[in-house]
A and B are shown apart, each in its own frame.
Chain A
Amino acid sequence: MMDVPIGFAKTLEQYILPDKDKIISAVKKVTQEK
């Protein structure tokens, strides 16, 4: 198996597919912190 270059996985984390449930989670988290 190829080694994953350092930073590669971290870079991929920046690409999040649009998702309604992720919006809902973010809104709930922020409203709880208000």
Chain B
Amino acid sequence: MTVIDYASAVQNTIDEEMRRDPNIFILGPSVIGERLIAEFGKDRVINTGISETAACAAGIGAALVGGRPIVDTMWSPFLLDAAGQVINQAAVWRFKLGNTVDIPVIFRQGFGMYNFGLGVQHSHCFHNLFANVPGVHVAVPSFPSDAMGLWRTALRYAKNPTMMWEPLPCIWNDGGIREDVADEDFTIPFGKGDIKRKGKDITIAAVGYMVHLALKAAEDLAQDGIDAEVWDPRTLTPFDREGLVASVKKTGAMVVVDQAPKLNQGSAPCRPWRGSP
């Protein structure tokens, strides 16, 4: 076991997978780093300049011809400048070409840094918006081990556009989330949630950094005699409907904690009760 922080868990996993698979390369407006270029070369570490649209378009094109690109836009609100590329290009090419192609492009973006003094254009939370896009897979890992397992799955097995949403408070709040992680190679399947704390009185379905606030809240609630279960979907698309329903059947009640606009009807943990997939 090794203690590792969230940011290192993601970066180390990407590094390892790039060593394993020469088809993986990274591009985007924020891609910098002499270390990465020194190890992988300029053909696999590409700064596109500040154009999210160009970066996403290049990544989608590369994925269509056999590449496995990671498009790193860093600040997710600016991914909206390239939303057409994700929603109206990457997500639909499989359908346009009669299921004859794979589009294994990975979109990487951070979100939800709410207490860092950032401009308002840097702090939005649009993971739920993209979770409502058919054809795109959406992961929101909350712990370093989840990030490692889901990134490995995405970079090894993804056949569809996959969005890896990084909760920035997991990286920057209180020095970052740290965890004792198994040294052996492991993957985590998409569509499989995880109970982060067992309980019997109520299910707190939390996403991203909210999992950590929910865990702290559960500890305080225990002092008042309320035994809360904290459930993390880990991926919003596909969504572990069975896992969440099983938890709520056990506890009989649910509170959803998601870093998204209050009236966002797209909040993924609400799905089992809206009848959507």
Contact = CB atoms under 8 A, between A and B. Distances in A.
Interface of A: 13-21, 23-24, 26-28, 30-31, 33-34
A26 B255 contact: yes
Contacts of A34: 202, 252-253
A23 B213 CA distance: 8
Interface of B: 114-115, 169, 201-202, 204, 209-210, 213-214, 216-217, 220-221, 224, 226, 228, 252-255, 257, 259, 261-263
A31 B226 contact: yes
24 contacts: A14-B261, A17-B115, A18-B169, A18-B213, A18-B259, A19-B213, A20-B213, A23-B204, A23-B214, A23-B257, A24-B217, A27-B204, A27-B217, A27-B226, A28-B221, A28-B224, A28-B226, A30-B253, A30-B254, A30-B255, A31-B226, A33-B253, A34-B202, A34-B252
B11 to A, nearest CB: 25
B202 A27 contact: yes
Contacts of B214: 23
Contact of A16 (B201, B220, B226, B262): B262
A18 B217 contact: no
Given A24-B221, A27-B202, A27-B228, A17 B114 contact: yes
Given A23-B257, A27-B204, A30-B255, A14 B221 contact: no
Contacts, number: 54
Given A14-B262, A23-B257, A30 B213 contact: no
A20 B262 CA distance: 16
A28 B216 CA distance: 15
A17 B114 CA distance: 7
A19 B217 CA distance: 9
B226 A20 contact: no
A20 B174 CA distance: 15
B216 A20 contact: yes
A13 B226 CA distance: 28
B261 A15 contact: yes
- For the complex of A and B, 10 pairs with smallest distance between CB atoms: A23-B217, A14-B262, A14-B261, A20-B217, A26-B255, A24-B217, A20-B213, A30-B253, A20-B216, A34-B253
A16 B220 CA distance: 21
A17 to B, nearest CB: 6
Nearest to A15: B261
Contacts of A23: 204, 213-214, 217, 255, 257
Given A18-B169, A18-B213, A27-B255, 17 more contacts: A14-B261, A15-B261, A16-B262, A17-B115, A18-B210, A18-B259, A20-B213, A27-B202, A27-B217, A27-B226, A27-B228, A28-B221, A28-B224, A30-B202, A30-B255, A31-B202, A33-B253
